[in-house]
Structures are given as C-alpha cells and as structure tokens.
C-alpha cells in the first residue's frame, strides 16, 4: 500500500482528496502547513506528496526546492496542487522539482491518474503491477512468485526484497539502501540483517533454479540479474564480500 502525504490548508479540498485516496486503497496522511509537512517527511518518507503551493508560513514551492536539495528526499515524488494556472507559475513549480503540476479545480479521476503515473515512473514497486525477469514473475496483487511454472514460497520480507530488486533489476544496491527501501526509512536494524534475508531469498528461489540470480557484488552490495555468474564465479564473489 502506497503512503501519500497530502499537504493542503483548505479543509474541504483536503477532506475530498483524503477520502478518495483512502477509497482507492492508499494510506493517507494530511498536514495543513509546511512545518507539519516537513516534520512528517522527517519522521517517515511517504511514497508521494500532494503539495499545495500556497501554505501558511513557508510555501509549497520552498518545500519542494528544499526536498530536492537534500539527499534523503531528492527522489521523493511530488505533485504540486495550486490555483495558479499561468504558464510561468507552472514552469516555476516544475523547476522547483515537482514531478507534476495540477491546477485547481481538478477532477478526482484526473488526480488519481496523475498519482498513478508518477508512482509508476518513480516507484514501480509501489503499484500492484506484476514484474518479470528471465522467467521469474512476481505479482504483488496476488502475492505470488513463480518461475518456470513453479510456484515459490517466500516470507513477507523476502517478498518485499525480491519485489524491490526485480523493479530495479541489474542495479547494485548496498545493504543500507536495501534497508531504507525495503525495511523502511528510519528503521534501525543491523545492516547484516540484509545478508540473512538475502540468504533466505536465494533458498526460496532455489527450487526453480533461480537462486543464482541474486548476486553478491564484492564490496558494494547485491543485485538481481537475468544473467547470473557461473556457480564458481558467484561463490568466489560471495567469499570476497564476506
């Protein structure tokens, strides 16, 4: 379930958005000013922010610029909501770092379409869209993983880990990055916990001969690949990383 932060000071609009988002299955949190929004983001990164331009105190434009300037929030998806419809305002909103810009009044259907489009671009693992790689298939809607016609049994953490890695296949992820993206931002557990779940994930994929797709990259982290190394090469890489 994707978590969406709604930053809107007009109560009627905020209520309309919040009700429709919850009805669509999103986890929604509402703030009515910039300070509360910043505190919410500091506490836990949402999957997307709906950000009003005109807010009490600091503007949404200033918030968006700050988030884009900081490493932790640089990739945070933001859709700007505003009554300012001039071309110059739209350009300013997008240049501040917003991923999309929606002018008031807007239809709920259009808002939902924009949200799903931004989530799909920024975080495909947040949507109930099946992902596939070299015969391996994961369907978040049904919570099923299969490979070569064989259904595989994964624990909930291994499922989330595989989902993220399949959505970012061939990329190398450090243990810290996996902790943030799979376990959640601000979750304080040992990085070596990742190693335990990587081992469990390989064991869960092994019955279909897909365990080797989860590779250890020496000194860097882990990646999911469609073209795994040979068993000898993988073992050598694993030993070098230990």
* Helix (H), strand (E), coil (C) string for 38-71: HHHHHHCCCCEEEEECCCCCCCHHHHHHHHHHCH
The full set of domain ranges for the chain reads 3-126, 131-237
* CATH number assigned to the domain covering 131-237: 1.10.10.10
Average pLDDT over residues 146-173: 91
Tens digit of each residue's pLDDT (9 = 90 or more) over 48-62: 999 998 888 888 888
- Identify the band that residue 185 occupies on the pLDDT scale cut at 50, 70 and 90: low
Q: Where are the beta strands (DSSP E) in 84-213?
A: 100-103, 131-133, 136-139, 144-147, 150-152
Asked if the model's pLDDT at residue 134 lies above 50, the reply is: yes
Bond preceding residue 214 cis, omega within 30 of 0: no
- pTM of the model as a whole: 0.54
Domain 3-126 has CATH 1.10.510.10: no
pLDDT at 85: 61
pLDDT, one tens digit per residue, over 85-96 is: 666 666 776 777
């Amino acid at each position: 379930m994707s978590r969406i932060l709604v930053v809107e000071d007009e109560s009627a609009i905020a209520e309309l958005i919040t009700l429709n988002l919850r009805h669509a299955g999103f986890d929604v949190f509402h703030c009515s000013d910039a300070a509360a929004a910043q505190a919410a983001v500091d506490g836990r990164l949402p999957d997307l922010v709906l950000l009003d331009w005109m807010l009490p105190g600091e503007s949404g434009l200033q918030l968006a610029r700050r988030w884009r300037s900081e490493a932790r929030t640089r990739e945070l998806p933001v859709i700007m909501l505003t009554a300012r419809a001039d071309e110059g305002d739209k350009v300013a909103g997008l240049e501040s770092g917003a991923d999309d810009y929606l002018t008031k009044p807007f239809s709920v259907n259009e808002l939902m379409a924009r949200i799903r489009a931004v989530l799909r671009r920024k975080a495909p693992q947040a949507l109930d869209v099946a992902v596939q790689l070299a015969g391996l298939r994961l369907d978040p809607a049904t919570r099923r993983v299969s490979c070569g016609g064989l259904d595989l049994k994964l624990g909930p953490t291994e499922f989330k880990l595989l989902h993220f890695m399949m959505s970012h296949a061939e990329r190398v992820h450090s243990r810290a990055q996996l902790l943030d993206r799979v376990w959640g931002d601000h979750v304080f557990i040992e990085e070596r916990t990742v190693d335990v779940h990587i081992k469990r994930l390989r064991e869960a994929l092994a019955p279909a001969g897909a365990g080797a797709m989860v590779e250890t990259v020496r000194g860097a982290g882990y990646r999911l690949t469609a073209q795994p190394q040979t068993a000898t090469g993988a073992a050598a890489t694993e030993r070098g990383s230990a």
